[in-house]
């Protein structure tokens, strides 16, 4: 999958950026005297313990990559998840709580990409998912209905995720109407959830 498009950004590439063995034991080499390059400003270099990462990975730990809408749609087609959880909750009138969630999971080395997606949508949080996996999550019903749903209506998904999104949207609209507060409504939402692909943890 192609990486995000970067607007008005310049990646400074050192002449020896394709060297397979670093000249020094450390993962990043110090700037030479008189160098005008700022540290961590997009230089392509090795990263991570033991320098085992891709030597051409764009090191953007402290930068926000500006994303295009079309790229976000394609990325969510491959990496996103629409999920409806229905959990027992004794304080709820019907005994269950409906928890819709939009999630994108990535390896922790790509956490900056998740922060860029968060900045793109202007909502949600980035948290550790499990192990070395990080997740961008949107759980607020208001944000899901007013931001996430309109975006994917304007920029339709192309894969099976589009089917999941339609079921997800239907459930959100039912919740807005208060159907999740009735036994019949919870049953109907459960049926919608059962028709969606399960989001496997990666």
Q: What is the pLDDT of residues 77-131, one digit of tens each?
A: 999 999 999 999 988 889 999 999 999 999 999 999 999 999 999 999 999 998 9
Q: In this structure, what token pair is assigned to residue 181?
A: 């507060």
CATH number of 69-194: 3.10.28.10
DSSP string, 94-158: TSEEEEEEEEEEEEGGGHHHHHHHHHHHT--EEEEEETTEEEEEE--HHHIIIIIHHHHHHS---
Q: What is the pLDDT of residues 29-58, one digit of tens each?
A: 444 444 444 443 333 333 444 444 443 333
Compute the C-alpha angle 156/157/161, nearest 5°: 140
Is residue 186 within 8 A of residue 94, CB to CB? The reply is: yes
* The model's pTM: 0.67
The rounded distance, in Å, linking the Cα atoms of 161 and 135 is 18
Q: What is the pLDDT of residues 86-95, one digit of tens each?
A: 999 988 889 9
Q: So where are the chain's domains? A: 1-60, 69-194
């Amino acid at each position: 999958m192609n990486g995000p498009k970067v607007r008005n950004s310049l990646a400074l590439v050192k002449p020896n950026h394709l060297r397979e063995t670093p000249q020094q034991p450390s993962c990043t080499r110090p700037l030479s005297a008189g160098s005008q390059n700022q540290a961590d400003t997009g230089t392509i270099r090795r990263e991570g313990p033991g320098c085992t990462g891709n030597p051409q990975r764009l090191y953007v730990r402290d930068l926000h990559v500006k994303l295009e809408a079309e790229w976000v749609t394609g990325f969510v087609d491959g990496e996103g998840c629409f999920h409806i959880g229905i959990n027992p909750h004794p304080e709820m009138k019907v005994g269950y709580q409906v928890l819709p969630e939009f999630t994108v999971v990535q390896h922790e080395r790509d956490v900056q990409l998740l922060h860029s997606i968060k900045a793109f949508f202007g909502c949600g949080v980035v948290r550790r998912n499990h192990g070395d996996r990080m997740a961008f999550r949107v759980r607020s019903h208001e944000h899901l209905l007013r931001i996430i749903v309109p975006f994917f209506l304007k920029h339709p998904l192309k894969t099976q995720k589009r089917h999941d999104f339609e079921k997800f949207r239907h459930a959100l609209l039912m919740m807005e109407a208060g159907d999740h507060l009735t036994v019949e409504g919870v049953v109907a939402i459960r049926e919608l959830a059962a028709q969606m692909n399960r989001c496997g943890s990666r």
